[in-house]
Amino acid sequence: MKLLALLALIGAFLAGCSSPQPAGAGGSSPAPAPAPIAGICTATGADSTLTRTGMLPDGAPEVPPVTAPMQASWATWSPEPGQAGPATLYGHVDGQTDGVRGQPGIFNRIDDLRPGQGIVVDQDDDSAAVFTVYRVATYPKATLPEGEVYGDTPGPELRLVTCGGPFDEAAGSYRDQVVVFARLT
């Protein structure tokens, strides 16, 4: 009976998520290199394809461009979602579109996620990895506990990472990082 309830819950959740096309699909621009994951949908309504991002030369994680605030990305230096370890997805809390700053980003409501809520990561093979949130935390960027956020885990987990807290005008960025912790359901 628990399995049927879980399947019904997943079905209802998935019904609220559109099936995103891979980045570059449906347009005249060439598609980027295929990613092992196609998209993400959260209980807060975030729904995006996923692009690949890596590390910048200074060792900082690469994130989607601020001029594409509704685009989420998978950090290729982390495990693929559904594999052992913490798969890391990045997105903006806000950004700039058509020259207008402060436009909502894909993770603009990330801190509204609560333990027990779901996150679905669509795979390119039409399967989906379903994760359940177990914690949402905000850390000052200067003291982000990297081992806690990015360190090995015994099973498949997911991290959604974005900016948050007060905006530092002098630095031109937010002071904090918001991190959602989720486990494969």
Secondary structure (DSSP) of 11-60: HHHHHTS--PPPTTTTSSSPPPSPPSEEEEEETT--EEEEEEE-B-TTSP
pLDDT at 172: 87
pLDDT at 126: 82
Mean residue pLDDT of the chain comes to 82
Residue-wise pLDDT for 126-169, tens only, equals: 889 999 999 999 999 999 999 999 999 999 999 999 999 999 99
pLDDT at 174: 94
DSSP letters spanning 132-160: EEEEEEEEEGGG--HHHHHS--SSEEEEE
Query: What pTM, to 2 d.p., does this model score?
Result: 0.80
pLDDT at 9: 36
Residue-wise pLDDT for 59-75, tens only, equals: 999 999 999 999 999 99
Domains of the chain are 2-20+34-184 (2.40.260.10)
pLDDT > 90 in the chain, percent: 66
Give the pLDDT mean for 90-108.
Answer: 93
Residue-wise pLDDT for 34-51, tens only, equals: 444 668 888 888 899 999
pLDDT at 37: 61
- Count the neighbouring beta carbons within 10 Å of the beta carbon of residue 164: 20
